[in-house]
Amino acid sequence: MPPPTTEPREVTLGVGSAVHSTDMVLNIGPQHPATHGVLRLRVVLDGERLLHADPVVGYMHRGAEKLFEVRDYRQITVLANRHDWLSAFGNELGVVMGVEAMLGMEVPERAVWARTLLAELNRVLNHLMFLGSYPLELGAITPIFYAFTEREEIQAVMEEISGGRMHYMFNRVGGLKEDLPAGWLDRVEAAVAAVRSRLPQLEGLLVGNEILQARTKGVGVLSPELACAYGVSGPIARASGVDLDLRRDAPYLAYGELFAPGGPGRVVTRTDGDCLARLEVLLEQTHVSLDLAQACVERLRELPPGPVNQRLPKVLKVPEGERYTATENPLGINGYHLVSRGEKTPWRLKLRSASFNNVQVLSQLLPGELVGDLVAILGSMFFVVGDVDK
């Protein structure tokens, strides 16, 4: 990509007429932390056309990876669920599953299915946030009220079991913090049914909306080759035809059974790769996650009573070695590379967050687009800035 220039150049407007023009360097952001987060885009414009875009990250950097190194494995979970605050339960899973694998620890079956259920409920919460906020960025205020109504249904059962609305802290090395409350599965089933029955109302505001289609169809097209080159994953990649989902392709928890032939699990893809395709994938994935949650509830009802965690020593030390654990978080692949020297704290715990790669591709995706489409493209990447900056 040619570097921006401030040298005037001649632009021909018609026969016998010309004007002198220079590129304009414009900073989009950094926005206030009360918004989606703090991201700065340094863009170069030629009139209304974007010539160059440089995502500038790091405004919310907390040094999470260094903090991991001075916490024991119980305390790390507190920090790990915060980089993507919309996917807190999924963030916890990668840490505890990696530690359990290095310990050679087998998690009780009831904990495996309960974790899967909570992970899918967390996925629904994540997707509903973007299904409400993305139209808001395009100028439509109504969908966010519908989305938050459904979020409250799921939030109520998540808060009941964990005590938290955002940072659940319900995972433990070896299983879960405690057993499921009496009658909780009934309330989960009722919440899932309620959301499923009312979701068509939200869909009716989005699917087929001619204004939304005009703002998103054919805009911000991401090719599968570019997605793979930048390590883009999750619904963004699948909207470009990259058929990759770790729940099916590298099963963990109970996903091997759920994504088996005849199971409720399926991978949602599109081929257009534009803003509309990304929104459609997110919407359809919400339906799939509700189906998976219902299947988990039914299995948990069938399982006999039993423990949901393993008894741990007072000082938990992980054997010397290293392991990379990846999970399919709501926004894409979330990975932790754990290196242990046999102590109670990790020697190194490297975080691979989904949003970081999904944002970096903006440098290739935005050039050539119009300024008026910038917000539509940016919002359709469905990122959480804390997940970018770590």
Per-residue pLDDT tens over the stretch 354-384? 999 999 999 999 999 999 999 999 999 999 8
Cα dihedral 360, 364, 366, 369 in deg (nearest 10):
-170
pLDDT (tens digit, 9 = 90+) per residue, 318-355? 999 999 999 999 999 999 999 999 999 999 999 999 99
State which residues form the domain around 298: 64-388
In the structure, what pLDDT confidence band is assigned to residue 35 with cuts at 50, 70 and 90? Answer: low
In the structure, what pLDDT confidence band is assigned to residue 306 with cuts at 50, 70 and 90? Answer: very high
Predicted pLDDT of residue 51: 94
d(CA 167, CA 366): 33
Instruction: Establish if 32 belongs to a structural domain.
Output: no
Predicted pLDDT of residue 29: 79
More confident residue, 36 or 189: 189
Q: Which of 163, 169, 161, 148 shows the shortest CA–CA distance to 82?
A: 169
Angle at 195 between CA 261 and CA 214, to 5 degrees: 90
Kindly write down the DSSP assignment for every residue of 5-40, as one continuous string. Answer: --S-EEEEEETTEEEEE--EEEEE-PPPTTSS---E
pLDDT (tens digit, 9 = 90+) per residue, 45-95? 998 899 999 999 888 778 889 999 999 998 999 899 888 889 999 999 999
Instruction: Establish if 327 belongs to a structural domain.
Output: yes
Instruction: Establish if 51 belongs to a structural domain.
Output: no
Instruction: Establish if 360 belongs to a structural domain.
Output: yes
Predicted pLDDT of residue 358: 94
H or E element that contains 75: helix 73-80
CATH of the domain at 250: 1.10.645.10
Q: Are 36 and 130 in contact (CB under 8 A)?
A: no
Residue 15 reports pLDDT greater than 70: no
H or E element that contains 142: helix 142-162
Residues 6 or more apart whose CB falls under 8 angstroms from that of 304 comprise none
Q: Are 92 and 162 in contact (CB under 8 A)?
A: no
Residue 5 reports pLDDT greater than 60: no
Instruction: Establish if 30 belongs to a structural domain.
Output: no
* Number of compact structural domains in the chain: 1
Give the mean model confidence (pLDDT) for residues 11-30. 69
Instruction: Establish if 321 belongs to a structural domain.
Output: yes
d(CA 128, CA 130): 5
| Amino acid at position 200, single letter | P
Instruction: Establish if 317 belongs to a structural domain.
Output: yes
Instruction: Establish if 310 belongs to a structural domain.
Output: yes
pTM: 0.91
Predicted pLDDT of residue 20: 64
Predicted pLDDT of residue 234: 96
Predicted pLDDT of residue 32: 59
Looking at every residue in the chain, the average pLDDT score rounds to 91
